[in-house]
Amino acid sequence: MAGEQGRSVLVTGGNRGIGLEVARRFVREGDRVAATYRTSAPEENFLAVQCDVTSSADVDQAFKEVEAAHGNVEVLIVNAGINDDQLLLRMSEESFTSVLDTNLTGAFRVVKRSLKGMLRAKHGRIILISSAVALRGEAGQANYAASKAGLIGLARSLAREYGSRGITVNVVAPGLTATDMSQALTEEQRDELVRQIPVGRLGNPAEIASAVHFLAGQSYITGAVIPVDGGAGMGH
């Protein structure tokens, strides 16, 4: 529940796509919201802090700025992510490690930094944005799917480590969502993927934000993976 001034919420990659919609949702609900951007600051009604999640120094500096403005982070949404699709035989080691470095090690850096304050407060809500492909796999996305599956192992281990300290750790697994990331697909690829979605369309960022906001208000859900994918991942 939001207190008088709401909660201190931090979203990584909040300048566009899903992260921006998540940040806007928490702002609308009256929370004190900060969002990180890597390249260009969003002109929005929340605190924007520069941070590349591949740099521990950037992550530490971003947290210092947020703590100074809003106090310790109480709700953390790890959303920053990239893909670099290629069939494995053509995938360079650099492509594999850089996707892992942003999506998975980046999550490790941000979550680890957030735990200090959450442990002191004996309260915290951590939500990691994974993907439907974490569980079902996708041709051409070995690096991305591995990084997103890794987030589930990370979340569930932390749920066990910190559950008794008032900290919950959950995962939202979006299916194909209408953002820059899905724009990169050809029309043919998108049509083929939409055919596999029972709801028959792409998700929109507000639908992902709704699930994230729900989890941030829960005290007895931890280690869960919530699919928000129009049914595409059913049974996985």
Which active-site residues does the annotation give? Answer: 144
Q: Which residues contact 126 (CB under 8 A, 6 or more apart)?
A: 76, 78, 111, 114, 118, 155, 158, 167, 168, 169, 170
Strand (E) or helix (H) holding 226: strand 225-228
Q: Is 204 in the site for ligand NAP (CB under 6 A)?
A: no
**Minimum Å distance from CB 52 to ligand NAP?**
4
Over the window 48 to 87, marking each residue x when it contacts ligand NAP by CB under 6 A and - when it does not, the resulting string is: ---xxxx------------------------xxxx-----
Q: Which is nearer to ligand NAP, 21 or 74 (CB)?
A: 21
Q: Is 19 in the site for ligand NAP (CB under 6 A)?
A: yes
> Binders of ligand NAP among 131-190, rule CB under 6 A?
131, 174, 176-177, 179-182
Q: Which is nearer to ligand NAP, 167 or 228 (CB)?
A: 228
How far is residue 199's CA from residue 196's CA, in Å, rounded to a whole number? 9
Q: Is 94 in the site for ligand NAP (CB under 6 A)?
A: no
Q: Which is nearer to ligand NAP, 16 or 123 (CB)?
A: 16
How far is residue 43's CA from residue 41's CA, in Å, rounded to a whole number? 6
Q: Are 3 and 69 in contact (CB under 8 A)?
A: no
Q: Is 38 in the site for ligand NAP (CB under 6 A)?
A: yes
Cα angle, residue 55 at apex, residues 209 and 144 outer, rounded to 5°:
55
Q: Which is nearer to ligand NAP, 67 or 84 (CB)?
A: 84
**Interacting residues with ligand NAP (CB under 6 A):** 12-13, 15-19, 36-39, 51-54, 79-82, 102, 129, 131, 174, 176-177, 179-182
